[in-house]
Chain A
Amino acid sequence: MSKPLSHLDLLEAESIFILREAAAQFRKLVFLYSAGKDSTALLHLARKAFWPQKPPFPLLHVDTTWEFKELIEFRDQSAKRFGLDLLVHINEDGVARNINPVDYSPSVYTDVMKTVALRQALDKYGFDAAIGGARRDEEASRAKERVFSVRSADHRWDPRKQRPEMWNIFNGRLGHGETMRIFPLSNWTEKDVWRYIAREKLDVVPLYFAKERPAIRRDGQIFVIDDDRHFLKPGEEPKPIKVRFRTLGCWPVTAGDESEASDVESVLAEILQARNSERQGRLIDHDTVGAMERKKEEGYF
């Protein structure tokens, strides 16, 4: 008799089922790859889903130009290692207008460099479906998100159009101009992602591991200085602080945590005992009340 399945085995199988449905039902599929931990777990699942073939879609990274350097390095290495095409899209119009996370509010910056940029990229290549690593447990407004989440022709999330999902049946049929977002990790929690990374021995961006990095303390939070663009205020002087990141975004708006966890096992132990929820280190989520919900309606992932 085959051995009973653990909750992680069941989550893995569910994600593989969803990925295969996505590949079978859509004409031009893309994988939104951020190179973070969720993307890493999801890419591994995609390799399992289509093995012995390669995943039948390219990776797309929306580069805000304010990413951590280590993340970009890891992104390029991963694509090469698994033999996948990597498309990188930057909102050049936003760059020309110098929309940056230092001078602009998180909501304006995210809208231009992430939300609009993603819409541009999807239109440019004509993708009819995009796979992403969002989880329902990340944030309250995601608790109602579908696994197959339909978007109108202008990539907006219309609550009235959200479709019922019954049984194990995922309906990818599109109306005129519509596209789909597909979230195979919907039912995973942050802990599951780390358990899986540890179990499957996956490489992740070293930013998740504690290391002395040049950083400053500001308003009770720690920011790692990743390059020499203007961010420091008068009197602020970077000093080495041993930090790691629980979640990764643009470096001027992503706070690190002081930690001693410098490998997967110790990170997992730390996450299993964490006292605070995952997104509290992300400034964009706290900008205004219900910020995340609004961003979703506008087409943020």
Chain B
Amino acid sequence: MRHDSIKAFVPAAEAPWAESYAKPRATVRQSSPELNGIIRLLTCGSVDDGKSTLIGRLLWDASPLYDDQREKLLKETASLNGGQRPDFSRLVDGLIAEQEQGITIDIAWHYFDTEHRRVVIIDSPGHEQYTRNMATGASNADVAVLLVDAQSGIKRQTRRHLAILDLAGVRKVVLAVNKMDLIGWSEERFREIVEDFKTFAARFPAVCWLAIPVSALNGDNVATRSQTMDWYSGPTFVEHLETVHTRDDNLDEPFRMPIQMVLRDGEGFRGVAGTITAGEIRTGDIVCDALSGKSSRVNQIRTMDGTLDAARSGQAIVLQLEDHIDIGRGSLLTTERLHAARSLDVRLVWLSNEAYSPTRGYLLRTAADLVAVVSLKIEGNLDLDTLELAEASTCEPNGIAEARIDLARPVAADLFSDHASTGAFLLVDAVTGAAVAGGIVNGVSTGLAANEDAAFTLTSEMLRRGLCTDLQPTSDGEAEFRRRANEVAIILRAAGVAVELDI
């Protein structure tokens, strides 16, 4: 993830590329059929910082909102401002029952096109549950905007937000210093805030950032250049979104493709299907499967539209290999040698409403694999303010923990810092099926941490909650309970999972 052109991302004050942004832009929208890629933007901040107003402004100024949507907004909110200006925040906050919906992870998606690009806005609420919401949104984002109220400056929350972004692998951050209109468009105050942020941001060397002074309410430096802040020569927010690098802009990284399935045509063709997550592949390249350790040569790159000579990160393809090696779902094709991991050092963000429990069964899901967790040992919790690890043996909802995970069988995984797409995972509750935590891989080892005999413990609680909820506490019920428990253990062992029964 560190391939990004950092030089294009220096603080605004020193921006050498400001000139290229200054060119007059066409006023007539050209509806070119296809756009240059997709940029996914996470918005962080609270209502007080003007987040909804900023998003509303983007939708209003930069996108072709439909007339019925514009009229509706004008009609509904004209009275609020004496008819001067619609309330832009209503474009995103207008959902009835939004507050009462009670979705645990609460993220809304909005879409608009600039002249050149599709912009996807990932909007996560700024309330007290924000850690898991933000981490979830950030995992899908290319760039994040941190909103700061120019009157109050950098807050504790801003710092925590930056820490979460760093954890989730967001490497591009825009510090939008908002409400510049309320501080008399002061350049001095803007620089003060930027200096303050710079000190803190230095703790996250992987993050590249840019500060932009804006007034979301008036639209200054959002989609149109501010007439009042002529001291600012950097890009407007929209100009920046049109040029900033995306995560799948990773052609220079070594090739990675997780295998989703095997496809056949019934006449001898056998191909492995997947989406390339990094780098490029060409016919004739040698690829190696990280799971089995086997390698072969790419015979053909096929799609329904024809055979390709080469394919790049982001493309969904079918590869036909020269040798009939036994690979399938869960395999990870690379052009380098990678070892499958039996044990992982990870960082987790706890998403579930229920804290980590050692008696629950967990599964680890990567992009295209699912494997039973033999042991999950929490080693400490991260304090977002000090960025220090405090010793702990559990993880509460909304918490961030470091942990060691032993798996029932090897899994193909990268370090998150090398490859985000193949270095991340979800932790799934084996009984309810829900994702309880999201995680990144910080270390891998081919052996088990504790001891080689570590086994998955099947407890009666696990079975009663799921498989056996229908059973009555009679002697017949108990017998059936034991029968099912045994069956489960037999099936798991047949699948190569060491199981101990604790019932």
Interface residues of A (CB under 8 A from B): 1-2, 4-13, 16-17, 20-21, 23-24, 47-53, 136-137, 140-141, 143-144, 150, 159-169, 171, 173-176, 178, 186-187, 189, 191, 195, 198-199, 268, 272-277, 280, 289-290, 293
From known contacts A164-B132, A276-B68, infer whether A9 and B315 are also in contact, taking CB-CB under 8 Å. yes
The smallest beta-carbon distance between A268 and chain B, in angstroms, is 7
From known contacts A20-B260, A136-B111, A276-B67, infer whether A7 and B37 are also in contact, taking CB-CB under 8 Å. yes
From known contacts A4-B36, A7-B35, infer whether A160 and B66 are also in contact, taking CB-CB under 8 Å. no
Residues of A within 8 A of B325 (CB): none
The smallest beta-carbon distance between B190 and chain A, in angstroms, is 33
The smallest beta-carbon distance between B273 and chain A, in angstroms, is 6
Report Cα–Cα, A78/B31, bound state, in Å: 31
Report whether B66 and A277 are in contact in the complex, using a CB–CB cutoff of 8 Å. yes
The smallest beta-carbon distance between B167 and chain A, in angstroms, is 12
From known contacts A13-B275, A144-B109, infer whether A169 and B426 are also in contact, taking CB-CB under 8 Å. yes
Q: Is B286 in contact with chain A by the CB < 8 A criterion?
A: no
Q: Is B74 in contact with chain A by the CB < 8 A criterion?
A: no
User: Which partner residue on chain B sits nearest A160 by CB separation?
Assistant: B102
Report Cα–Cα, A82/B113, bound state, in Å: 34
Report whether B469 and A280 are in contact in the complex, using a CB–CB cutoff of 8 Å. no
The smallest beta-carbon distance between A90 and chain B, in angstroms, is 32
Report Cα–Cα, A59/B179, bound state, in Å: 53
Report whether B263 and A52 are in contact in the complex, using a CB–CB cutoff of 8 Å. yes
Report Cα–Cα, A163/B435, bound state, in Å: 6
Report whether A5 and B424 are in contact in the complex, using a CB–CB cutoff of 8 Å. no
Residues of B within 8 A of A289 (CB): 96
Report whether B139 and A166 are in contact in the complex, using a CB–CB cutoff of 8 Å. yes
From known contacts A1-B280, A7-B118, infer whether A169 and B433 are also in contact, taking CB-CB under 8 Å. no
Report whether B34 and A6 are in contact in the complex, using a CB–CB cutoff of 8 Å. yes
> Which of B207-215, B304-312, B453-461 contacts the other chain?
B304-312
User: Which partner residue on chain B sits nearest A161 by CB separation?
Assistant: B434
Report whether A13 and B304 are in contact in the complex, using a CB–CB cutoff of 8 Å. no
Interface residues of B (CB under 8 A from A): 31, 33-38, 66-69, 94-97, 101-111, 113, 117-118, 120, 132, 135-136, 139-140, 248, 251, 260-261, 263-265, 269, 271, 273-275, 277, 280, 302-305, 308, 310-312, 314-316, 318, 329, 351, 363, 365-368, 370, 420-421, 424-426, 428, 431-435, 438, 466-467, 469
25 residue pairs bridging A and B, Cβ less than 8 Å apart: A1-B251, A1-B310, A6-B35, A12-B316, A17-B260, A17-B275, A21-B260, A24-B261, A48-B316, A49-B316, A50-B273, A52-B269, A52-B271, A52-B302, A159-B101, A161-B434, A165-B136, A165-B140, A167-B421, A167-B426, A169-B425, A173-B365, A174-B433, A176-B467, A280-B68
Report whether B431 and A175 are in contact in the complex, using a CB–CB cutoff of 8 Å. yes
Choose among B315, B368, B466 the residue that contacts A13 (Cβ–Cβ < 8 A). B315
The smallest beta-carbon distance between A273 and chain B, in angstroms, is 7
Report whether B102 and A166 are in contact in the complex, using a CB–CB cutoff of 8 Å. no
Report whether A173 and B425 are in contact in the complex, using a CB–CB cutoff of 8 Å. no
Report whether A168 and B421 are in contact in the complex, using a CB–CB cutoff of 8 Å. yes
User: Which partner residue on chain A sits nearest B123 by CB separation?
Assistant: A143
Choose among A7, A13, A17, A168 the residue that contacts B117 (Cβ–Cβ < 8 A). A7
Report whether A10 and B304 are in contact in the complex, using a CB–CB cutoff of 8 Å. no
The smallest beta-carbon distance between A73 and chain B, in angstroms, is 26
Residues of A within 8 A of B421 (CB): 167-168
User: Which partner residue on chain A sits nearest B265 by CB separation?
Assistant: A52
Report whether A10 and B140 are in contact in the complex, using a CB–CB cutoff of 8 Å. no
Report whether A169 and B365 are in contact in the complex, using a CB–CB cutoff of 8 Å. yes
Choose among A4, A51, A175, A187 the residue that contacts B304 (Cβ–Cβ < 8 A). A51
Beyond A144-B106, A160-B104, 6 additional contacts (C-beta under 8 Å) are A24-B260, A48-B304, A51-B318, A52-B264, A166-B435, A187-B109
Residues of B within 8 A of A21 (CB): 260, 368
User: Which partner residue on chain B sits nearest A21 by CB separation?
Assistant: B260
Report Cα–Cα, A69/B434, bound state, in Å: 42
Residues of B within 8 A of A150 (CB): 433
Residues of A within 8 A of B104 (CB): 160, 162, 164
User: Which partner residue on chain A sits nearest B308 by CB separation?
Assistant: A2
Residues of A within 8 A of B366 (CB): 169
Residues of B within 8 A of A1 (CB): 251, 280, 310, 312
Choose among B35, B110, B318, B365 the residue that contacts A143 (Cβ–Cβ < 8 A). B110
Report whether B132 and A17 are in contact in the complex, using a CB–CB cutoff of 8 Å. no
Report Cα–Cα, A298/B274, bound state, in Å: 35
Closest 7 A-B residue pairs measured CB to CB?
Answer: A173-B433, A52-B265, A6-B34, A16-B316, A51-B304, A164-B105, A166-B438
Report whether A159 and B103 are in contact in the complex, using a CB–CB cutoff of 8 Å. yes
Report whether A51 and B426 are in contact in the complex, using a CB–CB cutoff of 8 Å. no
User: Which partner residue on chain A sits nearest B416 by CB separation?
Assistant: A167
The smallest beta-carbon distance between A271 and chain B, in angstroms, is 9
Choose among A6, A23, A49, A165 the residue that contacts B36 (Cβ–Cβ < 8 A). A6
User: Which partner residue on chain B sits nearest A180 by CB separation?
Assistant: B433
Report whether B105 and A162 are in contact in the complex, using a CB–CB cutoff of 8 Å. yes
From known contacts A17-B275, A53-B263, A290-B96, infer whether A176 and B36 are also in contact, taking CB-CB under 8 Å. no
Report whether A163 and B37 are in contact in the complex, using a CB–CB cutoff of 8 Å. no
Residues of B within 8 A of A276 (CB): 66-68
User: Which partner residue on chain B sits nearest A272 by CB separation?
Assistant: B31
Report whether B428 and A171 are in contact in the complex, using a CB–CB cutoff of 8 Å. yes
Residues of A within 8 A of B67 (CB): 275-276
Residues of B within 8 A of A10 (CB): 37-38, 248, 314
Report Cα–Cα, A159/B261, bound state, in Å: 31
Report Cα–Cα, A154/B104, bound state, in Å: 21
The smallest beta-carbon distance between A154 and chain B, in angstroms, is 16
Report Cα–Cα, A9/B118, bound state, in Å: 12
Choose among B31, B96, B136, B273 the residue that contacts A293 (Cβ–Cβ < 8 A). B96
Residues of B within 8 A of A47 (CB): 304
Choose among B251, B275, B303, B311 the residue that contacts A48 (Cβ–Cβ < 8 A). B303
Report whether A275 and B66 are in contact in the complex, using a CB–CB cutoff of 8 Å. yes
Residues of B within 8 A of A7 (CB): 34-38, 117-118
Residues of B within 8 A of A164 (CB): 104-105, 132, 136, 351, 426, 435, 438
